[in-house]
Amino acid sequence: MVSSAALAVAVAAATATAAAGVAMHKPSASLADALLCPPPKFGQVEPSVFRAAFPRSESLAHLRLLGLRTALNLSRELPAQDVLAWFEAQGVRVAHLGIAVWTHPSVAPISAELVNAALSAVLDREQHPLLLLSASGTHEVGTIVGCLRRLQQWSLSGAIDEYRSFAAPTPRLSCEQFIETWDPDLAPPPRAHPPPWFESQHALLESDAEAWRRMPCCDAEEAARLREYFRVSGALCSPGVATTLVAEDAVAD
């Protein structure tokens, strides 16, 4: 008959073995915490397109989960050297667009050249998964995302609200004005391989526009309203933008 002391030793050994087995198949607490530590201002813009401020070393484990192929640095500054070394080790191509288009100290940090260069990469699925970066993750990144939303025919209020949600409590009026006055017609054409989400959204918009064009209009005012809806990205655009575009159309006609 097994003594109570021997039984207690056997139970303790079995418990220790089981605990060791669980530990082998379960990430450590520190690793689990690292996986749940994204960079500041992190968010998903669209499938395989992400945004963030410059990551810190504790955020790299989380970024590894994204399987990044491209990182676009929209700032005039560089991320930390250990972060750049990590990108290189992971095979992530880093494009310093903010520095590339900065030709003079008087040049604004956000320009049409920066927007077009960034959107050209965002609309090329060969460069995805892609991460949009800037020092703060708010103003340069937020303006690029705002222009993308305009290209996707979001209402102006929706694009500005998204910008403010990341830029709070210090949104910049200059960034909001850039988003508002940026002309989607000047955007670079999609590459040969646009992302699936862009193709599907464009197809839906074209379907809606065609259905609206086939609807009988009551009068000239209703026809003008429908035309403005698809030309100005929705009725929630500011009167200044709507008036400018309508005036240009009148001259062209």
Residue 41 φ/ψ region, left for φ over 0, alpha for ψ in the -120 to 50 degree band, beta for the rest:
left
Residue at 90: amino acid letter: Q
Residue entry with tokens 């200059």? 174
Which is more confident, 193 or 239? 193
pLDDT digits (tens, 9 = 90+) for 85-98: 999 999 999 999 88
Banded pLDDT at 170 (limits 50, 70, 90): confident
What pLDDT was estimated at residue 103?
62
Task: Dump pLDDT digits (tens) for 36-83.
Answer: 788 999 999 999 999 999 999 888 999 999 999 999 999 988 999 999
- Residue 112 CB partners (closer than 8 Å, separation 6+): 182, 186
Provide the pLDDT for residue 186. Answer: 79
Query: Residue-wise over 31-58: b if at least 16 C-beta within 10 A, else e?
Result: eeebeebbbebbbebbebbbbbbbbeee
Place of tokens 């949600």: 165
3-state secondary structure of 134: strand
Helix, strand and coil percent figures for the chain, each rounded to 5: 60, 10, 35
Q: Are 231 and 249 in contact (CB under 8 A)?
A: yes
Does residue 34 or residue 48 have the better pLDDT?
A: 48
Q: What is the pTM of this model?
A: 0.70
Q: Which helix (H) or strand (E) holds 44?
A: strand 43-46
Query: Hey, what are 29's tokens?
Result: 């607490």
Cα distance between residue 204 and residue 190, in whole Å: 17
Please report, rounded to a whole number, the percentage of residues in the chain having pLDDT higher than 70: 66
Distance CA(203)–CA(192), nearest Å, equals: 16
160 class by beta-carbon count within 10 Å (0-12 exposed, 13-18 middle, 19+ buried):
buried
Q: Residue 225's pLDDT band (boundaries 50, 70, 90)? A: low
